[in-house]
Structure 1
Amino acid sequence: MFKVAVIGASGLLGRAVVRELAAETAWQVVPTAFRHGGPQQAVLDVRDAQAVSAFVEREAPDAIVLAAAERRPDVCEHDPAAARALNVDAVRSIAAAARRRGAWVLSISTDYVFDGTRPPYRIEDAPNPLNAYGHSKLEGERVLLETSDNALVLRLPLLYGPIVGWHESAVRSLVPAIVASAQPGAQAAPMDAWATRYPTFTPDVAFVIRELLLRCADGEPVRGIAQWSGDEPMTKSDIAGRLAQALGVEARLLAQPTPTDATPRPRDCHLDSSRLEALGMGRRTSFDAAIRAVLDAFTNRAAPGNA
């Protein structure tokens, strides 16, 4: 039986991966969470190298999907040591344990390893991160590929998908401000109209990861670096407008044509996905269809009387 460990299974992408892998009934999936485990979920602090080693030795997975990371650029900028512990040191520990086991490792990285000046970015293009987050993820990529010769870095852009709270994604975190701007007498909500992003639906990414795992299970693992991205370019202001339409509110939005974030961010890091497309992999759900499904599911779950 093919066995997959999903590390960081309680996060936005990790949950989507576990749901997707449920379709592979012949596989055994071992999800982990940082704090709150359960009957189907082990507790694992990936910053603890001994705990990581013991987990991999005990579970003996054939493949590991590493979805745990510090993904907030502002947090990384203010606490680079904490970012390094998750984005670099934990990757090294997992890669070393996987190498001893002979397991394939897939580690998630980011479009922020690029500076955003010359898109689209192919996997062979030279990285040039602008902030501590991008630097930590780039170092994590290098550590993974230096530690294991049976590993894949999967770079992804801005993610959104089924949520447990508005804070989980930079896409849905806009919703409270959008709703507030529609109230009588409210001020317009400022929204960045400078940087172009490519929102990517986590169930689509999970579908790609399952296809990669299928190749691994067949003895043909993809190694090195790959990228996957949505194909609809949008600024934060564009995203907010589409969200307002999906919510059915008359939001007042103020487009900001210059960057306002304290932490520097790249302008356009569109990732070229041709390596995976050439392998016949991939799926893209339109933003409007996906975000309506996400909002409807969250609203129904959060309604009084629903569990």
Structure 2
Amino acid sequence: MAGATPQQPARKPLLALTGATGFIGQHLLKELPKRGYRLRVLLRRPTMLPQGCASAVIGDLAKPYNMAEALADVDAVIHSAGLASTMSGLPEDDYRLFNTEATVGFARAAERARVKRFIFLSSIRAQSGPTCEGVLTEDREPQPTDAYGRSKLEAERGLAETGLDWAALRLTLVYGPGAQGNIARLIKLARSPYPLPLAGLKAKHSLLALDNLVEAVDRVLAAPAPLKRPFIVADLKPLTVGEIVAALRQGMGRRAGLFYVPRPMLKAALRAAGQAAGCEPLFGSLVADPSALKRLDWAPPVATQQGLAALTQHSMR
């Protein structure tokens, strides 16, 4: 029509991201711009960023500065910074300061800046210990068993006391390139040239592929209704430790190489070798149900066994 003004392209949502130098944060930083988001990375100190990402230096999140400017015009926050569960041995006060108090203080700054949604990367450990009877859902009473889990749960409760629209993503064990902790130990085990006595272990474990986490963040960002709740985030199919090792070895082009040893005998052998500490997940399950997230149209693109195989293929390049 003559004289019509051409429509302006829709403004891409602006996200503020913390923890961008960490294992999960680096992946979000790389993948979210591909989905149409602009990113502003909030940093403790100046650092190099990928082209197209803005930054704002806010210092230590426990004592931030410049927050009003850093959060100006931000549509949503993704808060992935904090002390990790792998940092064992730290005083409980440290977890409370960095994972609880800093998170709640940051959320209140976001509320003052009129941020529309605050996404907190929590942990399944806010809900249970390293193993749990039955299937975990958000309706079960949280029972964290360590300082890390308690600090995450208290942060979630602090968010609930703000006026923000918030979502806490209770992540199960995340795997992908650069993963540390239990995933790194499982990869090391899978690389062993020897057959392994894992065929008799029946305990199942929920894992989470990095790409499935990105999809979850995208779905939560896009959800139209107020959320104000936690969401379990886990791949759809839990696996035994033997199945995990078999998938990792498949990515190396190897057979599973597993054999059966009765559980009592395996436990006795681990005790005799001084390896019993930290082996609780071998014998107890941790299965988490992401049905609430699926109701937001979350459809994880990566199947767990294929994702694990791809992980070791990546590590061999």
d(CA) in 2 for partners of 1:191, 1:8: 38
Matched with 2:188 is 176
1:234 positional shift: 2.3
1:72 positional shift: 2.1
| RMSD, matched Cα | 3.2
How many residue pairs are counted as aligned between the two chains? 286
Among 221, 241, 248, the alignment partner of 2:246 is 241
d(CA) in 1 for partners of 2:161, 2:135: 26
* Residue 200 of structure 1 pairs with residue 208 of structure 2: yes
Which piece of structure 1 moves more, 106-115 or 153-162?
Answer: 106-115
Verify the 8 A CA contact 1:171 1:239 in the aligned structure 2: no
Write out aligned runs for 1:1-307 (5 A): 1=11, 2-25=13-36, 27-34=37-44, 37-39=47-49, 40=53, 41-51=55-65, 54-60=66-72, 61-73=74-86, 75-103=87-115, 104-112=117-125, 113-115=127-129, 116-163=131-178, 168-179=180-191, 181-182=192-193, 193=201, 196-215=204-223, 220-249=225-254, 260-262=276-278, 267-300=284-317
d(CA) in 2 for partners of 1:169, 1:191: 23
Which piece of structure 1 moves more, 64-73 or 198-207?
Answer: 64-73
Q: Which amino acid aligns with 1:236?
A: V
Q: Which amino acid aligns with 1:49?
A: K
Q: Which amino acid aligns with 2:290?
A: S
Q: Which amino acid aligns with 2:40?
A: V
1:34 positional shift: 5.0
Say which one has the larger Rg: 2
d(CA) in 2 for partners of 1:207, 1:229: 11
d(CA) in 1 for partners of 2:280, 2:195: 26
TM-score, normalising length: structure 2: 0.76
Q: 1:15-71: per-residue Cα shift (whole Å, max 9, x none)?
A: 22223311233x3211245566214455555533333xx235334211100112322
d(CA) in 1 for partners of 2:139, 2:84: 23
Q: 1:145-173: per-residue Cα shift (whole Å, max 9, x none)?
A: 2234321111111111233xxx5352234
1:297 positional shift: 3.1
Change (3 A) 1:56 1:249: farther
d(CA) in 2 for partners of 1:191, 1:4: 45
Change (3 A) 1:227 1:48: same
1:188 positional shift: 6.1
Q: Quick check: which one's helix share is greater? A: 1
Change (3 A) 1:190 1:207: same
Change (3 A) 1:238 1:211: same
What percent identity do the matched residue pairs reach?
Answer: 22
Change (3 A) 1:46 1:124: farther
Q: Which amino acid aligns with 1:207?
A: E
Q: 1:170-210: per-residue Cα shift (whole Å, max 9, x none)?
A: 2234323432x31xxx7969999475321110111111111
d(CA) in 2 for partners of 1:141, 1:187: 43
Local SS of the residue matching 2:288: coil
Which piece of structure 1 moves more, 114-123 or 126-135?
Answer: 114-123
d(CA) in 2 for partners of 1:56, 1:241: 50
User: Comparing both chains, which one has the higher relative contact order based on Cα–Cα distances under 8 Å and sequence gaps of 6 or more?
Assistant: 1
1:121 positional shift: 2.1
1:77 positional shift: 4.5
Matched with 2:6 is none
1:5 positional shift: 0.8
Local SS of the residue matching 1:48: coil
Change (3 A) 1:63 1:238: same
1:284 positional shift: 4.3
d(CA) in 1 for partners of 2:306, 2:239: 15
Structure 1 unaligned blocks of 5 or more:
301-307
